[in-house]
Amino acid sequence: MSRYLLDTNVLVFFILGETENLTTEITSILNDYNNQLYASSVSVLELLQLYRIKKIKTKEFKNATELYNAIQDRLYIKIIPFTEKHTKILAKLKIADGHNDPFDHSIISSAIADKMILVSSDRQFENYTKQHLNFAYNKR
């Protein structure tokens, strides 16, 4: 069994059923019941904010609470809190040039601290593999 941490963009594609934005490899990972899928509370915060400001739209969910519940209840993605352990890794993280997204840095730190494979469509994350980030790229 492998453990995967889903970046916000992959979480959005998965929860909205936008499979055309997921590679065959990533779709296989998400649909393999032998894998354990996780989302950082940071990604969930981003997802809910995007929903509230209507940057992501869906008729399936009537409100942010329904969207939140679907993450765990329908997709079986475990939401993990951002903790002191993650913050310590974040403090040591060498930020890649031009990569200034604090949410990304928090999610990367969570994956490193919890020794999970981070799944993202953001090629910038490759810059952190030398810092012990295990990364699965979703080429869109």
pTM: 0.95
Q: With 90 as the cut, is the pLDDT of residue 140 above it?
A: no
Per-residue pLDDT, 40:
98
Number of domains, the chain = 1
Question: Which CATH number fits the domain that encloses residue 20?
Answer: 3.40.50.1010
> 31: pLDDT confidence band, cut at 50, 70 and 90?
very high
Q: Is 48 left (phi over 0), alpha (psi -120 to 50) or beta?
A: alpha
Residue 71 contacts residue 39 (beta carbons within 8 Å):
yes
Enumerate the β-bridge partners of residue 118.
5, 135
Distances (CA, A) of 93 to 6, 63, 96, 109, 131: 19, 35, 9, 7, 8
Residue 36 contacts residue 2 (beta carbons within 8 Å):
yes
Per-residue pLDDT, 110:
98
The domain of 50 spans 3-137
| pLDDT tens figures, 58-68 | 889 999 999 99
